Structures are given as structure tokens and as C-alpha cells.
Amino acid sequence: MANPILEFIGVSKKYGGNYALEDVSFEVRPGEIHAILGENGAGKSTLVKIVSGQVQPSAGTLMFKGTRVTVHTPARSRQMGVAMVQQELSVFDHLSIAENVFPDHRFAGSAGLINWNLLYRAAQGACEAAGFSADVRAPASALSPGRKQLVEILRCVHSNPSVLVLDEPTSGLNTHETAMLVSLLLSLRDRGVTILYISHRIPEVLALSNRITILRDGRKRATVENDGLTESSLVQMMVGRDLVSLYDPTATKQNGSGAASLAVEGLSGYGSVHDVDLTLGEGEILGVFGLEGSGSFELAETIVGLRRRRSGRLRVGTTVLRRWQPRKLLSLGVQYLHNNRKDAGLYLALDVSENAEAPRLRRLSSHGLLNRRKLSEVVRSSIQRFEIKARPRHQRVVNLSGGNQQKLMMSLCLDGVPKCFVVCEPTRGVDVGSKAQIHGFLRNVAAEGGSIMMFSSELPEIIALCTRVLIMRAGGVVGQLVGNDITDENVMARAAGASN
Amino acid sequence: MSWRVLPEHLTDDKPRLRSDKLGYARAMDAGYFLTSLAQSYGIIFVTLVTFVVFSVSRKAFLSPENIYGLFYGVSLDLYAITGFTLLIIMGEIDLSVGSVYALSGTTAGYLATRGFPTEFGVLIGIVIGFAVGAGNGLLVVKLKINSIILTIGTLLTVRGLSDVVAATMAGNRYAEGFRAIARARFLSVNWTVPAMFLVVLVLEFVLSRSTSARVLYYIGNNGKSALIHGMRTDATRIGAFVLSGGLAALSGVLVASRITIADVDMGRHLEFTILTAAVIGGASLFGGRGRIVNSVVAYLFLAMLVNGLIMFGVEPVFQQVIVGVILVAVVAADTQLNKEAG
């Protein structure tokens, strides 16, 4: 067996009194794709930061190519040949795609001037090899978030690393882009690049990796060969319990009754939504799926009144609206969960209590003044009901794990049962435990007569929860699938425009 | 089932730092605690220290007339500071306050001097402030213009108008009735001084408890979240600009009444002094943080500093240098502290 390229020996990291990582040892072999799997808060990100030099371990040793190394700074880690794809996007929006792929001066001539032709040709080649076509002279701002992420990955790939580290690389990618990334990584591995791959998405990890290290509560639970593993066995190692299969096909799906709780008629926005009609039945979970750029999230924002409309009407119960804002819809019982909690839906710099108060300000006040007692009761019970691990008055939301942030954001929408719940990416970047919980919350809403319109780019989630799916392409609804017709193939075929 | 268990210590709801102001997010670690503390009380402490240093070293500083003069000055500018801070909390800025202050004050005095009733002059002055504020607010909100750029535009426009009015007055004294406004007494002091304490107390209470005031903090933290959560973000934004204009006008009228003679330089660079005070007082230019009382205390601190340094023989021309250096130092320290606190 080849000597390990990267080896962790008894690595610990302590923050305050708590171990983020405790005595973790494992090795990464050259030329393998090694996945790190674990719930949020299991210590995955800390591990990655140690490799990339962003944090120093409290104890333990890191070996690189057989010698003991101390990685003080990210620059040192780059020098060693470790390239890191961060969770957050760091694309230069105003520079061309080509300059983003090759930000160094690789194509500089003798006078230090850039050889643009060479640069563009190389970038074009890089993009095509990765399977996507784009005008590399165009500014990166023109790309969808998923494509930006791919550009960022290409940049790391082309710095010729010996170890490539990817931290949740697919959290912003749709199914199609994920497939592109998977084939790109497999071809890199075949060229001998070692890849350390951190992800929540078990199917990807199974499809990609040679070996998998599972972390739980800061400790290593196991490092296993990816041979004959199943999703449920991995989940069990991750969470230390048997989950009902993530997307339990036997879990009851809610069939909506006939009455429409919300109807959209002839809705058009500016640019991305064209003439959409749809009806949502009481107690129904309606899925809306579209690939990146299809306008599905724009549709959601237009429906709840966050975007300008060109035309269209909205019917909520028996009320017909021609003009509306989120505030108006809230008073009619329509709640909205935003697709990106970093963008909106929470107040990251404030603490948990202050967040929990925001949507309830009017309800928790008398004579225009806040009712402190009522307030702390509501906050406490809501935090308990949604099983959010946080100290309401001590912890800024930005410091919570993704799963807890997402549950908090959802708890802000679900005081009672909303008449209608417009949900976008309900489980974006959350661990499997939280994911199951969130799906449980959604099923409850439907079971109690609320209707849900779910916009998600995760097809398995839609298939598991929805009885009816609308497919969007180019800003319009291009198809509908019901019941057993809702399959991967059927949905993708319509979303990608392969058949109709 | 680790995620189902909610250990007791995680639900402990006892605040360690008993400050409930929105925007002063609390945390468990010492670094964050210190930052919070510095943001809440730092300026009060610094002001007290400065006061003691000047009092001990310069006899003239501690004279009742001098101290009273400082408070009286702040009590006139208080309203402009208040309006400005409300906007900063919301993540917006109004750089036209100094110009509005000058135009409103000079116009009110001019009208009173030209024989209109004093009340009429004051009313017109304040209406001008509301109008400029409404213009700022509507343009920022409806056309989504960056408020820094927009209000630099209004700063220049309104300053031009104010110069015209001041030139018309050509160094004449304002009418007797108009000059009496800021001089009216209450319990043997100018009424604006007790009014200041009352106003600050009421505002502190309102900003911490009133739901409509808390909306400002939420908008300042994340306007889109506030919109999703059913707050009237556009109306609140416009309202705050209107208020900022009107309050700047009120301060301008009071100050014009105090200075007796029309002054072309009235309120020049006031926006930067107030901005400095707000930032020293712990407000963030990114919004979501700030307190009226801290801005006012910081403004008093700046006035005291300039006043004390003059007594040390520092030339008035250096005042601006000192204020500028302080602003840079405070912003640097604040950024550093926040970085350490994560």
C-alpha cells in the first residue's frame, strides 16, 4: 500500500471548553477520493480548516507526504500543494470567467503583460473539459450561482494541487451541475490527484469516494472502504441511530382536497417569470422543480410579493389580490421560507431571541410596547418545539450550525398552521438529522390542513414529499407530473427540455 | 438520538449581560462580552475621564458657565443627532443634515425678520426640513439610490439655497422675537437643557420597548428579512428620512435663534461631526446597531474635547484634525474588537 499523503494523528481542537475535534486519527492515501461525512457540528469544517491552515490544532500532528508539518497560514497550505474550495463563493464578479479560472499570472508574456488569447483559449478548454460551455470573456457575474461554484472549483483544479479539498461543494449546485462535478472529480482522480471531499449528500459520497471517514460529535467513528455500503448503513454511523430511510417511500403522502387555498393567474414578472398559472389545493404538498436559471425561485419571490410584477392576480382562499406585499399575504395566512438563509429570512448578527421576536412583533406587543414575558415564553416554546440547539439570549445566529439556523428560520414561519406555506430549499445545507425533522414539520403542516408549495432543487426531496410536481423551464411552467409518474427521469426530461 | 436531547444548560435563559437593546448581540465568551460592554458604556466612560482630566488641569473648564455652555450647545443640536442616529441604525445615512439645518434656521430667521410672525417662520423652516427629508426618502426607497451619494447631492443643493438666504440677510441681526426662542428660560436655565434630558430618556425607552422602533434595528440588520417578516420596510425607511430632515430643521431653527446674526457657515460639516459622534457612540455604518443616548454623549464628548483643547492653547484650526483622527481611531478599534469577537 502506498504511503499516506496526508495523515492525522490524534488531532484535537478545543474552542473554549468544548472539543470541536477530539483525538482524530486517519490517513488519506494518494490518488483516492476520501470523503468526510458527518452531521453539522460533527467537526468536518474544523478538520478542513486545520488542513488549510485557517485554524491550528490544540493537540496532535498533521503529516504531509510522510513529514510532520505545521500549517500556520492558508498560504503555507497552498505552497504544500493543497487547494481548497470554500463553502462560500469567492468569485470575482467583475472579472471575466477566464480570469477567474486563472487568476495568477500564468499567461503573462516577457514584459509582464497578459497574453489574452492564450488565457481565453486555456479557459475555454478548461470549461469544456468540465462539461460546460460559456463565453469565457463574459464577466463572472453573468453566471448562475451553481456555475460560479463550478468556476471556483476549476480555479482550484488548475492550480495543479496534489490534494484538492472540497467543503460541501454541491450545496449550491443543481442535479445537473452535480453530475458535471462528479465526472470532473473522477477524471481528476484518474490523473492522480488526491481529493478530500466533505459533503452531507450521502448519494454523492457513495458514488464518488474510495474511502469514507465518518465523524460524530468531534470524534472519528470509522474509516471505511466504499464497498458494499448502503445509504442507511452510513446514516446509522453518522447519527448513531437508525433513521427511517431518508426519503421514506412508505411515509404517507398527503393528498390535497379539491378546494384551492391559493391560486396564481397569469403571473408575469420582469425578466424571469412568464405568464404562470397554478393552483394549490388545501392540504396538498405541491412541488415546483426547475434547473438553475429556470426562474423557479424567482417565481416563489414573485408570488409572495418580494419581486415586481408586470401582471397577474393572486387568489388566497376567497380573497382576490391584484396588488400585494409579504405583509398582506402574512395577514391572510401565507408564510414564506426563503431559499437562502444567508441572504434573507434571519438576522445573522442578532441573537436567537431577537430573531424569534421579529415576525411576532405585533402579536407580542400591547399598546405598541413589547410584552417581555409573553415574548420569552413564545421564544422558549418555539425553540423547544423545533428542537433548536441554542441559547436564546447568548448566541448570535451566525454562530449556529446550518441545521439549527434552518430550523430557526422555519420556526419563525410556523407559529400555528399556515393556510399556505411557500417553501424554498427547506433543507439547504443541513445535516441528515435536521433534514428528517424538517420534512416532518412540513408533513405535519399538510396533515393539519395547511397547503405547501415547495420549491426545491433536490429532486429526491420533491419525489419523497410531493403528490404533484410542476416543472419549470425558462420562466414558465412546462409540465406537471402526478403520483407514480413523478420519477427522476420524468422530471429531469421535462426540466432539461428533452421531451414534452 | 443526540439531536433530540436538549441539555439543560443549553436552554438556560438567564442573560449574563443585562442589556436588552437590539443590536447588542450577546455572547458567552469574554471577548464578545467586552466588545458589548465597550459599545454600550465605553463612550460614557471616556467622556467622564476626559471631563475629569480637563477639570483638574484647567480651572476655566470647570466654571459653571463653561459647563453649562457645553450642555446648552448639545441641547440645541440634539434633534439633528437623533434623526441622524435613527437612520444609521436602519443602515441608511443622511449627509444633508448640516445643510438642512442651515437652510431651515436661516429661512425661519429671515422670514421672522422680514415681518412675518415668528411662528410662521419657524413652521416654514421645519416644513422645509420635512420636505427635503421626504425627497431624500422617496428617492432612496423608490429609485433604490444609495443614500450616501443621494444625500451628498442634497447636501450641495440645499447648501446652495441656504447660502442664497444667508446672503440676503447680509449679516443682519434676526428679529427680537425669533432670537427669544432659544433663550426662553425654564427654572432659570434655557428650556432646551431640561428638554434634552427628557427627550433622551423617552427615546431610550421607546427604542428598547416600542415595536415600531425595533423595526429600525431589524431593517438595519437585514431589510429583506424584515420585509419577509411582514414589516413595512419602505414606509419605515421613508418615514425615518422625513424625520431626520424635520429634526435637523428643528435644531437649525434653535441654533439660528441662538446665534443672533445670519451666518453663512452655519451647520457646515455638521454631518461629519454627527457621523463621528454616532460611530464613537457604537453605531455601525452597516446598520443594525446604535443608540441615541450614546450618540448624544459622544457629541458632548467632541464638544468638550474641542473646548478643552482651546483652553490648552490648541489653535481652533486643528480641531478638525483632532476630530478626524479620533474617527479613524475609533473605527479601527471597533473593527478590531469585532474581528476578535468573531
pLDDT for the residue numbered B326 = 85
Of residues A365 and A17, the one with the higher pLDDT is A365
B227–A contact, CB cutoff 8 A: yes
Number of residues in chain B: 342
Burial of A273 per CB tally in 10 Å (0-12, 13-18, 19+): buried
Q: What's the whole-number mean pLDDT along residues A375-391?
A: 86
pLDDT for the residue numbered A455 = 95
The residues, any chain, with a CB within 8 Å of residue A59's CB and separated by 6 or more, are: A10, A11, A12, A23
Position A394 pLDDT exceeds 90: no
CA distance A416 to A118: 60
CA distance A423 to A439: 11
Q: Return the residue of A nearest to B215 by Cα.
A: A358
Residues of B in Cβ contact (< 8 Å) with A350: 22-23, 25, 217, 221, 288
Cross-chain Cβ contact A350/B25 below 8 Å: yes
Q: Return the residue of A nearest to B6 by Cα.
A: A389
Whose cell is 480651572? That residue is: B59
C-alpha triplet B1, B6, B10: angle, nearest 5°: 140
| Amino acid identity, position A50 | I
Which residues in chain B come in under a pLDDT of 50? Answer: 1-29, 340-342
Residues of B in Cβ contact (< 8 Å) with A336: 228
Q: Using CB atoms, pick whichever of B2, B12, B226 lies closest to residue A391.
A: B12
CA distance A274 to chain B (A): 23
Position A422 pLDDT exceeds 90: yes
CA distance B244 to B132: 9
Cross-chain Cβ contact B11/A350 below 8 Å: no
Q: Using CB atoms, pick whichever of B3, B26, B229 lies closest to residue A387.
A: B3
Count of CB atoms within 10 A of residue A271's CB? 12
Q: C-alpha grid cell for residue B12?
A: 438556560
Q: What's the whole-number mean pLDDT along residues A409-424?
A: 91
Question: Count of alpha carbons within 13 Å of B245, Cβ hemisphere only?
Answer: 25
Q: Return the residue of B nearest to A327 by Cα.
A: B230
CA distance B91 to chain A (A): 14
DSSP B113-136: HTTS-HHHHHHHHHHHHHHHHHHH
Residues of B in Cβ contact (< 8 Å) with A380: 11, 13
Cross-chain Cβ contact B224/A326 below 8 Å: no
Tell me if residue A137 falls in helix, strand or coil.
Answer: coil
B27–A contact, CB cutoff 8 A: yes
Position A85 pLDDT exceeds 70: yes
| Amino acid identity, position B98 | G
Helix A116-130 and helix A175-190, axial crossing angle in degrees, nearest 10: 100
DSSP B182-218: TT-EETTEETHHHHHHHHHHHHHHHHHHBHHHHHHHH
CATH assignment of A6-91+143-239, among 3.30.70.270, 3.40.50.300, 3.40.50.720, 3.40.1280.10: 3.40.50.300
CA distance A446 to B72: 63
C-alpha triplet B41, B45, B48: angle, nearest 5°: 140
What b/e string do you get for A163-202 counting C-beta neighbours within 10 Å, with b at 16 or more?
bbbbbbbbbbbbbbbbebbbebbeebbeeebbbbbbbbbb
Nearest Cα neighbor of A101 from A159, A42, A37, A175 is A159
Q: Under a CB-based contact definition with an 8 Å cutoff, are residues A261 and A282 in contact?
A: yes
pLDDT for the residue numbered B154 = 96
pLDDT category, A40, cuts 50, 70, 90? low
pLDDT for the residue numbered A460 = 83
CA distance A387 to chain B (A): 7
Q: What's the whole-number mean pLDDT along residues A77-82?
A: 86
Cross-chain Cβ contact B229/A362 below 8 Å: no
Q: Under a CB-based contact definition with an 8 Å cutoff, are residues A196 and A6 in contact?
A: yes
Residues of B in Cβ contact (< 8 Å) with A362: 211, 230
Alpha-carbon torsion (B133, B135, B141, B145), positive or negative: negative
Q: Under a CB-based contact definition with an 8 Å cutoff, are residues A115 and A100 in contact?
A: no
The values of phi and psi at residue A58, to 5°, are: -75, -30
pLDDT for the residue numbered B151 = 95
Q: What Rg value do the Cα atoms of chain A yield, rounded?
A: 24
pLDDT for the residue numbered B342 = 40
Q: Using CB atoms, pick whichever of B12, B218, B232 lies closest to residue A347.
A: B218
The residues, any chain, with a CB within 8 Å of residue B49's CB and separated by 6 or more, are: none
CA distance A374 to chain B (A): 13
Cross-chain Cβ contact A393/B226 below 8 Å: no
CA distance A71 to chain B (A): 21
Position A331 pLDDT exceeds 60: yes
- State CA B323 to chain mean position distance: 16
Enumerate the H helices of A108-162 as residue ranges.
116-130, 145-157
What b/e string do you get for A84-93 counting C-beta neighbours within 10 Å, with b at 16 or more?
bbbbeeebee
CA distance B207 to chain A (A): 10
CA distance A415 to chain B (A): 13
Q: What's the whole-number mean pLDDT along residues A161-186?
A: 83
pLDDT for the residue numbered A256 = 57
In the DSSP assignment, the letter for residue A249 is T
Q: C-alpha grid cell for residue B72?
A: 446648552
CA distance A433 to chain B (A): 7
Strand order in the sheet with A276-281: A276-281, A260-269, A309-316, A319-321
Cross-chain Cβ contact A361/B211 below 8 Å: yes
The values of phi and psi at residue A373, to 5°, are: -70, -50
Q: Under a CB-based contact definition with an 8 Å cutoff, are residues B57 and B112 in contact?
A: no
Name the pairing type of β-strands A18-28 and A194-198: unpaired
pLDDT for the residue numbered B155 = 96
Q: Under a CB-based contact definition with an 8 Å cutoff, are residues B154 and B135 in contact?
A: yes
Cross-chain Cβ contact A387/B1 below 8 Å: no
Q: Under a CB-based contact definition with an 8 Å cutoff, are residues B236 and B140 in contact?
A: no
Whose cell is 425627497? That residue is: B135
pLDDT for the residue numbered B29 = 45
CA distance A273 to A379: 37
Q: C-alpha grid cell for residue A375?
A: 415574548
> A interface mutation test: which of B17, B28, B32, B211 has the most A CBs within 10 A?
B211
Q: Under a CB-based contact definition with an 8 Å cutoff, are residues A185 and A31 in contact?
A: no
CA distance B132 to chain A (A): 27
Residues of B in Cβ contact (< 8 Å) with A347: 218, 221-222, 225, 288
Nearest Cα neighbor of A292 from A200, A170, A124 is A170
Q: What's the whole-number mean pLDDT along residues A104-128?
A: 81
CA distance A229 to A236: 11
Nearest Cα neighbor of A287 from A145, A151, A426, A110 is A426
Nearest Cα neighbor of B78 from B236, B195, B212 is B195
The values of phi and psi at residue A243, to 5°, are: -90, 145
Q: C-alpha grid cell for residue B303?
A: 464638544
The values of phi and psi at residue A85, to 5°, are: -100, 115
Q: Using CB atoms, pick whichever of B10, B15, B228 lies closest to residue A338.
A: B228
Number of residues in chain A: 500
Q: Return the residue of B nearest to A403 by Cα.
A: B3
pLDDT for the residue numbered B4 = 31
CA distance A408 to A410: 5
Tell me if residue A90 falls in helix, strand or coil.
Answer: coil
Of residues A306 and B20, the one with the higher pLDDT is A306
Q: Return the residue of B nearest to A301 by Cα.
A: B228
B134–A contact, CB cutoff 8 A: no
Cross-chain Cβ contact A389/B1 below 8 Å: no
Domain made up of A260-344+417-495: CATH architecture: 3-Layer(aba) Sandwich (3.40)
CA distance B249 to B258: 14
Q: Do domains A6-91+143-239 and A260-344+417-495 have the same CATH topology?
A: yes
pLDDT for the residue numbered A41 = 65
**Per-domain boundaries in chain A:** 6-91+143-239, 260-344+417-495
pLDDT category, A232, cuts 50, 70, 90? confident
Whose cell is 427604542? That residue is: B207
> A interface mutation test: which of B225, B232, B284, B286 has the most A CBs within 10 A?
B225
B89–A contact, CB cutoff 8 A: no
Of residues A421 and B314, the one with the higher pLDDT is A421
DSSP bridge pairs for A33: A195
Q: Under a CB-based contact definition with an 8 Å cutoff, are residues B245 and A364 in contact?
A: no
CA distance A298 to chain B (A): 15
Q: Using CB atoms, pick whichever of A327, A345, A433 lies closest to residue B230.
A: A327
